[in-house]
Structure 1
Amino acid sequence: MSDAGDLVELSEEERRTIDAIYERRLTATHYEILGVPRDAERKVIRDAYFALSKRFHPDVFFNRSLGAYRIRIDELFRVFTRAYDVLGNARQRSGYDLHIGSMESPSRPPPPLVPEVTDIVSAARHAAQASAAEHPRASNPPLSGSASHPPPQPRGSSPTNPATVNLPPPARTQARPVMPPIGTAVMPPPATPSAPSLPAAHVSKPTPGPMQPLDPETLRRARESMARRLNSVVPQRSQSGSARPPISPPVAMPPAPTSSGQIPRVLERGPSISQLIANAEEAQRKGDLTAATEALKQALSMSKDDEALRLRYEATRKLLVAQQVDAHINAAREAMRESQPLVAAKHWEQAAEGRPTDHLLVLNAAEVLAKYTKEYKRATDLAQRVTMADPNNVKAHVLLAGIFIKAGLKASAYASIQTIARLSPDQPALKDLREKLGPYTLAEKVGIRSR
Structure 2
Amino acid sequence: MMRFKPEDKPTLNPQKEWKGFPSDPIELLLLSHINGKNTVRELAGFCARTHDQLVAVLEKLAGIGIIAFPRPERPQPASDSPRPPTAPIKAASAPLESEAKGVETTLVDHRLLRQLSEIDTSVLSENVDLEPRRKEEVLLLFHSLTRLTPFQLFGIPGDATDRDVKRSYQRLSMRFHPDRYYGKNLGSFKPMMEKIFRVISESLELVSTEENRQRLATVYPEAFGDGSDANSQPGLEKSNPGPTDSILEEAPESHSDQAPPRRPHRRIGLRNQIANVLSRANSNSIVSGDSDDSDDGPDELILPPVGGYRSAPARMDPMHRAAQERAQRVLVHLAEGKRALEAKNYSNAASHLKTVLSLDPRHEEAAALYQEADGKNRETMGASYAARARMEEEMRDLQRASELWSMAAELSPTPEILTGAANCFSRIHNHSRAREYAQRVVQASGKPEATLLLAQVYINAGMGLRAQSTLKELLEKYPSLPEAQRMMREAQKL
Which band: TM-score by shorter chain? 0.3 to 0.5
Q: Whose relative contact order is higher, 1 or 2, with alpha carbons under 8 Å and at least 6 apart?
A: 2
TM-score, with length taken from structure 2: 0.37
